[in-house]
Structure 1
């Protein structure tokens, strides 16, 4: 992925555009593969930027909304969540998600998780105090090239959360910081 993202920016944009087109394709396998691609590619800032510029979050949310509405047969509300009357256990076999639909939803959720982890890492990097030494600045992910991968592993997330909890300056700064990815998700969910 690092080599792909090191290509010219218009090529990376086209790759993301193609993956988004596959994500909206009628073939289940293409949609599953597109979700897998995004789950793997969200470690790259270049892919994240192009994904955001092409309203990718709305398209991923649409896939989850489709899966939720198949499951609940309710087309309104945020993410198509079932109403209280739909929560009864008397669903017919036709209302149960197929194995393929479950896989698409699972892979899309995994892509969502990696998307928000990457955005969290970038947000924390943006509020992290900058040191004046050039060697320290080179080690910060916020000044890394867009093609360099972000560490969004469980251990990296634990370290970020621990740092936010223990650092007297970063914790309050994080609380006051505007998080565009979450704001966009709220807007999209409210519109559904």
Structure 2
């Protein structure tokens, strides 16, 4: 039986918008965006879930920058370009767009560098659509970043032991790592050394 409770017109309008969004083919629509920043905005504005936006933005980066998709079973990253394998990790910064989450960093894989994105949105930069940070981090530089600022993706130091550079350089090391910088913290400051323009990808 339908409820007779009055719902105000504003909420009805928002429900209709929600229904309209549920029919969008994000995989097609995001490719119409002209910049990587706009692709991130697309995900925020359309409330694309965390499970969806990672693969969507990774594909956007690959397709728009001439990367060849790598086969996951070969353990060599998401794509290759100029005979170098890259792993792509993207982050919209969580609920407040200021805490970035890069997980499942597999250092034993045949990867030459990591592409990380961070979409930062505040009341101060909303008029310009927020700011997108793109980092291109060579593997040899990623390892000390993880040692200094990272952790294990799924377990703890108590279970797996302290993270060391020696352990990370071991080709048989199958552990997965994570980095979770917040805007402006020490990890963020170190990452900023690797900031690049999206055109340079």
State the TM-score, normalized to the length of structure 2.
0.29
Q: Higher strand proportion, which one?
A: 2
Q: Higher helix proportion, which one?
A: 1
State the TM-score, normalized to the length of structure 1.
0.30
